[in-house]
């Protein structure tokens, strides 16, 4: 998965230079020339690391640092005046590094690499703990034959880490939880688990969420953005309410399943991903296919390994 950066600095020349440098070195790069633009870009892009100038025209950089850290962001602070008091305060607020201008690109690149590695290790540890927790939770469900059989099937699905899974059943049967268990028990547990609900979103917004977009792809597309399929590389993506997927997006999802490739919205380059798809629905997809609302070829691609989750009344949870 490509590491992503957000550069926040009112020096347009520095933004351009750093952006081009890190873009050439394989990073996804976003840019903002003010604090407010930086906040908006951070929420939209969710970068791995924010490279933040201490002196911005609309807000003190330490205030920006504090707000970004509160949202879980990792920040490297840049300043033209490297006084000790400010550096100490920045570290107290959670800055990963404090570097002075003019920026030494080698030092900055090394700092970014260290932060990205720290983030990767933290994610892996979180996933390992979650995997242990999910396995314990799966075992604790063994109160009835139906649930024990469900646990056995979930473990089998987890082992087949390249096969698409379709979870069906009534609302409230825990399809999202089962999807996470499948991921955490699989060889992909060290990779990301990302999810999106296909219902209630406009087709354009959902396409951008799933596949990303290029700058200028639509009115508010001010920066290039990675989609969930790209971010979930070497992990699992969970498409909830797949039965509500817009007809115009169905062939795009089918293409990813068939070729492992896609294009960002507004893009021309084919992106390749290694991702497992788990989908869920409370609809009868065979009926949706018969009614012409769901593609038959997509249905068969999704249901390589189907699993129907029992309703509470069937599961014998009251035993």
- Separation CA 111–CA 42 (nearest Å): 20
* Geometric angle at alpha carbon 218, from 215 and 219, rounded to 5°: 100
Residues 6+ apart with CB under 8 A from 260: 272, 273, 274, 275
* Secondary structure (DSSP) of 171-204: TTS-HHHHHHHHHHTSTTTTS-EEEEE-SSS-HH
- Separation CA 197–CA 219 (nearest Å): 23
The H-assigned helical ranges of 93-231 are 105-140, 145-159, 175-184, 203-211, 228-231
Q: Domain 141-315 falls in which CATH fold?
A: Rossmann fold (3.40.50)
Whether pTM > 0.85 for this model: the answer is no
List the pLDDT tens digit at each of the 319 positions of the chain.
Answer: 578 899 999 999 999 999 999 999 999 899 999 999 998 888 777 888 999 999 899 998 899 999 888 877 899 999 887 667 788 888 888 899 989 888 899 999 999 999 988 887 776 665 556 555 555 555 545 556 666 777 788 888 988 888 999 999 887 778 888 898 899 888 888 888 999 999 877 888 889 889 988 888 777 777 888 889 988 888 999 999 999 999 999 999 999 999 999 999 888 888 888 899 999 999 999 999 999 999 999 999 999 999 998 775 454 443 3
Residue ranges of domains in the chain: 4-120, 141-315
Q: Which CATH number fits domain 4-120: 3.40.50.2300, 3.30.1330.90, 3.30.200.20, 3.30.1490.190?
A: 3.40.50.2300
């Amino acid at each position: 998965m490509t590491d992503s950066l957000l550069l926040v600095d009112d020096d347009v020349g520095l933004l351009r230079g750093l952006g081009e440098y890190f873009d050439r070195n394989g990073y996804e790069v976003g840019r903002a020339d003010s604090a407010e633009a930086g906040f908006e870009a951070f929420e939209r892009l969710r970068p791995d690391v924010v490279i933040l100038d201490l002196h911005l025209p609309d807000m003190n950089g330490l205030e920006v640092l504090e707000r970004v850290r509160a949202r879980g962001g990792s920040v490297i602070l840049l300043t033209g005046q490297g006084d000790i008091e400010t550096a100490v305060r920045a570290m107290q607020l959670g800055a990963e590094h404090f570097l002075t201008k003019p920026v030494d690109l080698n030092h900055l690149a090394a700092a970014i690499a260290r932060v990205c590695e720290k983030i990767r290790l933290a994610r892996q540890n979180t996933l390992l703990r979650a995997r242990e927790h999910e396995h314990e939770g799966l075992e604790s469900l063994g109160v009835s034959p139906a649930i024990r059989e469900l646990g056995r099937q979930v473990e089998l699905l987890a082992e087949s880490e390249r096969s698409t899974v379709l979870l069906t059943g009534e609302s409230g049967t825990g399809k999202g939880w089962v999807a996470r268990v499948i991921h955490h028990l699989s060889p992909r547990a060290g990779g990301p688990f990302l999810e999106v609900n296909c219902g209630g979103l406009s087709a354009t917004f959902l396409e951008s969420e799933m596949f990303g977009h290029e700058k200028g792809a639509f009115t508010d597309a001010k920066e290039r953005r990675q989609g969930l399929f790209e971010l979930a590389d070497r992990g699992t993506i969970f498409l909830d309410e797949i039965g509500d997927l817009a007809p115009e997006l169905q062939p795009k999802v089918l293409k990813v399943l068939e070729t492992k490739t896609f294009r960002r919205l507004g893009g021309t380059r084919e992106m390749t991903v290694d991702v497992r798809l788990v989908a869920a629905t409370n609809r009868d997809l065979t009926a949706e296919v018969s009614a012409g609302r769901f593609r038959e070829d997509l249905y068969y691609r999704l249901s390589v390994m189907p699993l129907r989750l029992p309703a509470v009344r069937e599961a014998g949870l009251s035993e």
